[in-house]
Chain A
C-alpha cells in the first residue's frame, strides 16, 4: 500500500485532492495534515511509518487557534506563514530517518517565487503548480514512486 501525506490547510482542497488520489491509486493510505504545527506534531509518527510521498502546500497557517496552544517557535515567528511548507520540507530533509522521503511542493505559487533571492529547494523536493490538471499530480507522484531515492545533501 502506498502511503501519502497531504499537507494542506484548505479543507475543501484537501478533501477533493484526497478523493482524486484515492481514485487514481486505489490501494492508498492518505493522511491529511492541516497546519504546520500539526505537521511538526506528526513527525514522530512519520518516523515510525515513513511515507512514500508528501504532497506539501507552501503557504500554510501555523495552527488553528485554541486557548491552550503552545507558543510559536522562533524560526516560525521569523520565517512567517508564506513559506511554511518549505520549512516543513527542510524538517524532513534534515531528519536522518525522513531525509529520503520524496516531497512534491504543490502550491499556487510559481517556482520562481520559491527560488527568489537565490534560494534553492530542499534536495528531496520537486515542484508542481496547483493550476495544473489534477492528473498531472498523479503522474508526478507515480514518477516519484518509480525513481530511486537520491536526495541531494
Chain B
C-alpha cells in the first residue's frame, strides 16, 4: 500500500468515525495524522477577483479548540509564502513572533488547490520539525486534502438538506390533521434555521414571507434563529427588499428567494458568522437553493391548507349567519305587520354577517335603491365607515343598480373618486334584488390591495337572499292585506246570506202553512190537490235552501250551530220522514219512476218508545238534502228507502238508494265541503258538494252522526240520532 493510500484510508476512517464530520474535523484528523498540535485550512476566495487575502476555512487546535476559533485570524508569513510560491514552506530563519497562528507556532505550510478552483493553504501548527514519515504524509496531503474537503462538504450539504427536509416533513405531517397555527409553524421553521445556522456557522438565520395585507411593509418575519431574536409578527420594511448575493456590506449577508413559479413569495436570510471561514461563499449560496426550494414547496402546501381551512370556516360562518337571518325572517313572517323596523334590523344583521364571513372586510353597508335618482344614506352598517361622501349618482352604485351586476374597485384613483377613505384598498358593490327587481345595494371595503377571494361570492349569496326575503315579505304583506279584505268580504257575504235566509224562509213557511190550510179543506178539485201539494213541496224545498244559506253563513264564520233540540217521539219522527219523502216524490220527475218509501215498521222497531233529542228543522234539512242527492244520483226505476236501525247505544235513520257507485275515496271524503265525487261530476254534472257537508255539520251540532257506506251501486247514509 502506498503512503498516499495509507493516508487516505487513515483519514477516511477517522472521518467516518465522526458522525457529523465537518471540515474542522478534517483539520483535526490531518493534525493527528501528521503528529501536529493543530491544523488550519486557508482559502483565498477572492483571489480570482484580484485579491490574495487568505481567510480561515477550517481549524483545529489541540490545546484551545474550539474556543478561539470563533474569531478571524490573519495568515502568517509561512502560510503566505506557501500560497505565493506554490511549494511547501517551513519557518527556517523567520522570527518566532511572526510565524504564529492563533498563538501556535507554525510547523509547515502546504499550498492547495481546491476542487472549485480556489487556492488555499494547509498550515500545520505545533512547532518543531516534521519527522520523515510526517513529511511523506504532508506531501501526500497536498494531493488529497482538496478532494477530501470537497467530499466532506458535499456530505455535509446532503445532511443539511436532509435535516431541513425532515423538519419540514414533520411539520407537514402535523398540519395534515389540522392546519398549523403560524406560531407552531414558526417553531418548526426556527428549528430548521438553527440547524442551518450551526452548519454554516451563521449568527442569524431568518425566513421572511411576503406580507400580502396592507400597503406598508412587504415582508413579515416568519421564523428566526440566532443572536438578534425577533418578533415573528414583525413587519420588515423595504431595506430588506430582495438581495441575492454572496457577500454584502460590513457584515456577511446572504439571501435566497422563496419562489412560487416565477413569483417571489419570501426570502431566506443568513446574517453574520460564528466561525471560520467568517464569510459566505458562492458554495454556501448554492447550498441554500435546495433548502429554499423545500421551504417554498412546503410553504405553498401550508398556505393551501390555510386557505381551505379559512374557506371552510368562512362557509360555516355564512351558514350560521344565514340561519340567524332566516330566524329573523321567520319572526317577521309570523306577523308581517308586527315589526315596523324589520327592514332595518334585517339589513343590520345581514351587514354584520357579511363582515363576519369576509373577515378582511372592515366595513359593510346596505343602502336602499334611490327612488328619485338621489343617493340616500345607508340603511344599515357594520364595522367602520369607509365613505367620505354619499355615492355619486353617476358612479359605481348607479352602474350596479342599472346593470344588476356586481362590481369591484381597486384602483386608487377610482376609489378616491368614489369618496373612499385612503386606508381602504378595495370596494365591492353588490345589487340586492329578486329577479328583475333591485331593492338596493350592499357595499363592502377593506385595506388589502385586492378584495378577499370569498367576498364576491358571499355578498352575492347574501344579496340574493335579502332580495328573496324582501320579495317574500312584500308578497306576504300583500297576502295579509288580501286576507283581511277577503275576511271582510266573507263576513259581509255571510251577513247577506243570513239576511236572505230570514227574508226568504219566513214567507216560504207562511206559504207552506197557507197551503196546508187549503189542503185541509174537505172539497178540493181533483187537479187542485196535487198542484197544491207540489206548491207546498216547492216552498218547503225553497225554505230548506234558504235555511242552508243560513247554515252556510254560520259555518263560513266558524260560528257554532245552535240546535233547538226537542224530544221527538217515534210518530213525530215518522211524520218528518214521511213528509220529506212525499216532497221528494213530488219534486222528482214522474217519468223517472223513482219511488221514495218510508219503511214505517222498521222505524217503529228501531225507535219504539225512545225519544230522539233533535232539532226538528235540522233533521228536515238533513233528510231533505239526502233525498235530493238520491234524486240527483239515483237510477230511474229504483226505490229510495228510508228505514230504521237500532244499535247498542243509538237508533238511526237509514237512507238507501241505488245509483252511480261511490268510490272508496268518495266515501271517505264526501262529507267535506265542496267535495264532488268523480262519478257525480262525470255523469250528472249538477251539484255543488255542499249538501252532505251541511247535513254532517247539522248532525254533529245535534250530537248525532252521519256516516256513509257504499256497496256496488247501492249507497247507504246513516243518521245516528241521540236518544233521551
- Which residues on A are within 8 Å of B, measured CB to CB? 11-12, 34, 36, 59, 61-67, 69, 71-72, 76-77, 80-81, 84
Contacts and interface: CB of A to CB of B under 8 A. Distances in A.
B683 to A, nearest CB: 6
Given A11-B589, A12-B534, A12-B587, A66 B684 contact: no
B590 interface: yes
A61 B686 contact: yes
A61 B628 CA distance: 14
Interface residues of B, number: 23
Given A62-B684, A69-B683, A81-B687, 14 more contacts: A11-B589, A11-B590, A11-B591, A61-B686, A62-B686, A63-B684, A65-B632, A65-B633, A65-B636, A66-B636, A67-B635, A67-B713, A71-B682, A72-B682
Contacts of B149: none
Contact of A62 (B534, B660, B683, B713): B683
B688 to A, nearest CB: 10
Interface in B258-312: none
A76 B685 contact: yes
Contact of A81 (B538, B591, B685): B685
A12 B587 CA distance: 7
Interface in B669-710: 681-687
A24 to B, nearest CB: 19
Contacts of B591: 11, 34
B447 interface: no
Contact of A72 (B683, B686, B687): B683
Contacts of A77: 681-682
A67 B706 CA distance: 27
Nearest to A69: B683
A88 to B, nearest CB: 13
Contacts of B590: 11
B592 interface: yes
Contacts of B682: 71-72, 77
Contacts of A81: 684-687
B634 interface: yes
Contacts, number: 52
B683 A12 contact: no
A84 B685 contact: yes
A67 B635 CA distance: 7
A34 B589 CA distance: 10
Nearest to A14: B589
Interface in B512-562: 534, 538
B72 interface: no
A81 B683 CA distance: 11
Interface string B464-477: 00000000000000
26 contacts: A11-B588, A11-B590, A11-B591, A12-B538, A12-B587, A34-B589, A61-B684, A61-B686, A62-B684, A62-B685, A62-B686, A63-B685, A64-B636, A65-B632, A65-B634, A65-B635, A65-B636, A65-B659, A65-B660, A67-B635, A72-B682, A72-B683, A76-B685, A77-B681, A81-B684, A81-B685
Closest 6 CB pairs of A and B: A81-B685, A11-B589, A62-B685, A61-B686, A81-B686, A65-B659
Contacts of B660: 65
B341 to A, nearest CB: 44
B39 to A, nearest CB: 114
Contacts of A63: 683-685
Contacts of B659: 65
A76 B686 CA distance: 11
B592 to A, nearest CB: 6
Contact of B686 (A11, A34, A59, A67): A59
Which of A34, A65, A67 has most chain B Cβ within 10 Å? A65
Nearest to A11: B589
A61 B508 CA distance: 26
Contacts of B683: 62-63, 65, 69, 72
Contacts of A66: 635-636
B493 to A, nearest CB: 17
A32 to B, nearest CB: 9
B636 to A, nearest CB: 6
Nearest to A71: B682
A7 B635 CA distance: 21
